[in-house]
């Protein structure tokens, strides 16, 4: 009996050692990436039930592609770039690894000067840079009704700031609704009755375009985290 007990203990010890060795050699599980989506009603999901909004659809799109990502909805309906700047500091809680910035639509609707909007976006990107956070900056295209100079300056601020801060960049939040020639002849089919906010199908098309950029953002966030840790 004593021999059997001794054998059993040895066998148990061997199994435990093998289990521990297996755990030690197993690849580390990828950590969750926490992303703040700082935006306005387009980010918030205005006029849609929760699961149809931009952030929930983006979460689902990323999950389907194997990403362990938490996207925090920091979209506030009616917010301008000034509003985003005023709340970015406290919105960036310690666990946030990266940020999506999608602001400027309400600046356009109010005719706010491009240089003012640019200064606000610059301030938001400065905060992210100070915290060493990867950023995806999503632009918008101004209509022509404010004049050629306004359109030129507004459209230019996004790519110029993205280059200055080395941000991941998408030129237009509505890029997914554009046709092959860059026009939007059928965009009305994907909009709510107000003609400003996309419906659920429109959001899905937008996410298909934004999603790959967010994957690039995740990769950059992971790289920066590895550099900080190393």
Q: Which is catalytic among the residues 40, 79, 97, 197? A: 197
87: how many CB neighbours lie within 10 A of its CB? 14
Strand-strand pairing, 69-75 and 33-39: parallel
Active site residue 41: yes
Q: How far apart are CA 121 and CA 104, in angstroms?
A: 9
Active site residue 194: yes
DSSP secondary structure code for residue 113 in this structure: -
Q: Which is catalytic among the residues 40, 41, 91, 97? A: 41
Helix (H/G/I), strand (E/B), else coil: 81? helix
- In this structure, the dihedral spanned by the alpha carbons of residues 197, 201, 203 and 207, taken in order and rounded to 10 degrees, is -160
Q: Which is catalytic among the residues 25, 181, 194, 227? A: 194
CB 169 within 8 A of CB 209: no
| Cα-only R_g, the chain | 23
Q: Is the CA virtual torsion 124, 129, 130, 131 positive or negative?
A: positive
Catalytic (active-site) positions: 41, 194, 197
């Amino acid at each position: 009996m004593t021999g059997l007990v001794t054998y059993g203990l040895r066998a148990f010890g061997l199994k435990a050692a093998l289990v521990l060795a297996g755990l030690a050699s197993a690849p580390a599980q990828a950590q969750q990436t926490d992303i703040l989506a700082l935006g306005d009603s387009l980010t918030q999901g205005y006029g849609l039930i929760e699961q149809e909004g931009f952030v929930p659809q983006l979460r689902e799109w990323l999950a389907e592609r194997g990403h362990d990502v938490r996207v925090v909805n920091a979209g506030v309906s009616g917010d301008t770039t000034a509003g985003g700047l005023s709340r970015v500091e406290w919105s960036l809680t310690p666990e946030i690894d990266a940020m999506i910035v999608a602001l400027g639509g309400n600046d356009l609707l109010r005719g706010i000067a491009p240089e003012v909007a640019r200064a606000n976006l610059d301030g938001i990107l400065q905060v992210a840079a100070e915290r060493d956070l990867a950023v995806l900056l999503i632009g918008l295209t101004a209509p022509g009704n404010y004049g050629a100079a306004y359109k030129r300056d507004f459209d230019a601020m996004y790519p110029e700031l993205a280059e200055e801060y080395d941000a991941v960049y998408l030129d237009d939040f509505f890029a997914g609704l554009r046709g092959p020639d860059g026009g939007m002849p059928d965009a009305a089919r994907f909009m709510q009755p107000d003609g400003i906010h996309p419906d659920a199908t429109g959001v899905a098309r937008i996410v298909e375009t934004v999603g790959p950029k967010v994957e690039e953002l995740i990769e950059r966030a992971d790289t920066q985290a590895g550099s900080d840790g190393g």
